[in-house]
Chain A
Amino acid sequence: MKFKTYKSSELTWSLDFKPLKKWPEILPVIALIDNGSIKVISGFERQIQDQVDVLIIDSPLNVAFEQVWPNAQLGGLERLRLLKVLGQSTEQDFLLEWPVELQYLLDQKQVALKSLKPLEYLTTWKDQLSSALIALRPSSSQCREVLDLLCDLKMSGLQWGDCQPEIKTVFEASHWMTQLKTLRNPNTLQNDSLVNKSVMHVPWPRGVSAKWERQGDQASIVIQAKVNNKLEWKRLTENLQKTELGDQIWNS
């Protein structure tokens, strides 16, 4: 091992895979000699400095990277970037064409790589979609769902303008998801909305609230009531039996 200060221009920075975390300031940059050049493998952000403190280690490239950047500590996209600078390609390399800032967000949220497959079909929306995701910062599951919805909508022929977060109503990711779900399943959700209105207009017995609620492919009336004793239970069941549910609820 050798410790020395070099001019930034004397070092090769081509292995910069834009790691998520900054290299600790108290540590020197780590580099190794590879094919006659001093290749930096950590502390890439110091490239802008004139002089850089470097610890040169004697190790093969792959071994050095594995020890300095253990695989298990890297995010999914981070790992792909690392493989790319090492000259190894994967089926998921298309993800690296998305803005690095978005890649950082997705790794921070620990979104699994397989959940990002829809991005392959959303490349024409790259800039706008990246901006929207960075602004709204969805959770991992929200991200998965948003991308899936957007992919379906694009394949149904919608444009970004139809899908982009509505300025007046979307302030967080969950709002956008609601907007996209309405676009994705317009007939079903419109029907649900109409039936819900009908359900709410039913003259339910006192103390009973009801709504039309969807769980997956099943939508049903959900009834809530508080019952404190046997008499109340008797009255509730009798009154419910007398409650007329119009045909419009079941024939929608």
Chain B
Amino acid sequence: MELISDQFSELYIHEKSWNSLVAKRAREILNVTPIKVSERPYGNREGNLTGKEFSLSKKRLYLAPHEGHFFRKCPGTQGAACCNYFVLNLGVQCNMNCSYCYLQSYINSPVSQIYTNIEDALIELDETALKFPNSPFRVGTGETIDSLSLDDITHYSKILVQWFSRHPKLTCEFKTKSDNIKNFIDVQHAGNVVVSFSVNPQSIIASEEHGTASLRQRLHAGRTASNQGFPVAFHVDPMIYVSGWKVLYSELVDQITTMFTPKEIRWISIGALRYPPEMKHILRERFSKNPPAALTGELFLSGDGKLRYDQGLRNQMFSHVIGEFKKRDKGYPAFLCMEAPESWLGTFQQTPRQISQIKDLFQPMAAP
């Protein structure tokens, strides 16, 4: 992984955030001269970013307060079984560079953003928790930005661990492809902050997940977190079909199950490569010299409008990984992410609410 100090070539700080702790840390850590601004630099582009603009946006950091909502339901996808996940968005864009990243079709901001007003996000969470006192929300901070890769600037992990320790009914998930757990690992917690790692076989990480921590680094970070009592989770997502995939994913499962018992893992979500067709243009522009699996794989239009592997192949892939986990211990809690009932039936021969280990996640819940 690149040093965080060299991640950005431009730093813009909104005048309202100039004296914030986040801005102070950014000025200390980053090797770049900050520029005070009164509005977002580069404006907002109409339509999607070009590949060049998207790549540049990863190098430009903008710190500013967020005016809108932070907390919302995970958008999921049409027709998929919903696990009642919520997201708390504390920024936009990711400083890493996975070839298949959906942000390439999602964001149109020419800069990476960190929202400096986490206190407003927590007020929103507080109000929601009060309004729905019996709803055990699972809230992730890694939908539009990696939860931990820029934590040395934000230290939001520490703030969130402390906040969630006062709300033990709720669950927070840090979802990351980094191994950056040092800022919160020693903070007292209530066991309701799940440290989760998106994982793939190392050869796929090397070819598709540029600028991320290695598999070994992620697993070791998970081990450290678990030793400190943090539940961990894994997202085997996106699974990518390559020659020898069965062996590679079996080895991945081996590595995880060698290091973690079922009790230490809160959940394992599994998904396969998927993306909206319009993302192809930006993938071609950004990766034409070394086309990624997203461009060369055999993908077809699915019912939710995304390109996906053949349903039958997906069922095989999911069944294989889940089978490998269950072979080692039936207690590993695996479920599918963003898949329709056909995939569940093809993989588990059951729907989510029929599977005892995970059925509670899929129960309807009172929520905003």
Contact = CB atoms under 8 A, between A and B. Distances in A.
B298 A187 contact: yes
Interface in A41-91: 91
Contacts of A91: 50
Contacts of B300: 185, 188, 214, 216-217
B50 to A, nearest CB: 8
B288 A121 contact: yes
A85 B299 CA distance: 41
Contacts of A155: 284, 288, 291, 295-296
Interface in B291-341: 291, 295-296, 298-303, 308-314
A188 B311 CA distance: 11
A216 to B, nearest CB: 4
Contacts of A148: 280
Contact of A218 (B281, B291, B311): B311
A152 B311 contact: no
A252 interface: yes
A117 interface: yes
Contacts of B301: 216-217
Candidate in A156, A188, A219 with the most chain B CB atoms within 10 angstroms:
A188
9 contacts: A152-B296, A156-B291, A156-B295, A185-B300, A186-B298, A214-B300, A216-B303, A217-B311, A217-B314
Interface in B39-66: 50
A214 B310 CA distance: 9
A155 B315 CA distance: 27
Interface in B62-84: none
A112 to B, nearest CB: 13
A205 interface: no
| Residues of A in contact with B, size category | 20 to 34
Interface string A168-183: 0000000000000000
A18 interface: no
A118 interface: yes
A184 interface: yes
A117 B300 CA distance: 20
A61 to B, nearest CB: 28
Contacts of B291: 155-156
A152 B312 contact: no
A248 B291 CA distance: 34
Nearest to B278: A114
B298 A151 contact: no
A218 B309 CA distance: 9
Contact of B296 (A156, A188, A216): A156
Contacts of A191: 312
Given A155-B291, A156-B291, A185 B298 contact: yes
A121 B280 CA distance: 12
A188 to B, nearest CB: 5
A155 B303 CA distance: 26
Given A218-B342, A252-B312, 11 more contacts: A91-B50, A121-B284, A151-B284, A152-B295, A155-B295, A188-B298, A216-B300, A216-B301, A217-B301, A218-B303, A219-B310
Interface in A110-158: 117-118, 120-121, 148, 151-152, 155-156
A217 B309 contact: yes
Contacts of A186: 298
Contacts of B314: 217
A118 B284 contact: yes
A218 B310 CA distance: 6
B79 to A, nearest CB: 12
A148 B299 CA distance: 13
Interface string B9-53: 000000000000000000000000000000000000000001000
A117 B281 contact: yes
Contact of A184 (B280, B298, B303, B310): B298
Contacts of A218: 302-303, 311, 342
Interface string A207-218: 000000010111
Nearest to A189: B298
A214 B312 CA distance: 11
Contacts of A121: 284, 288
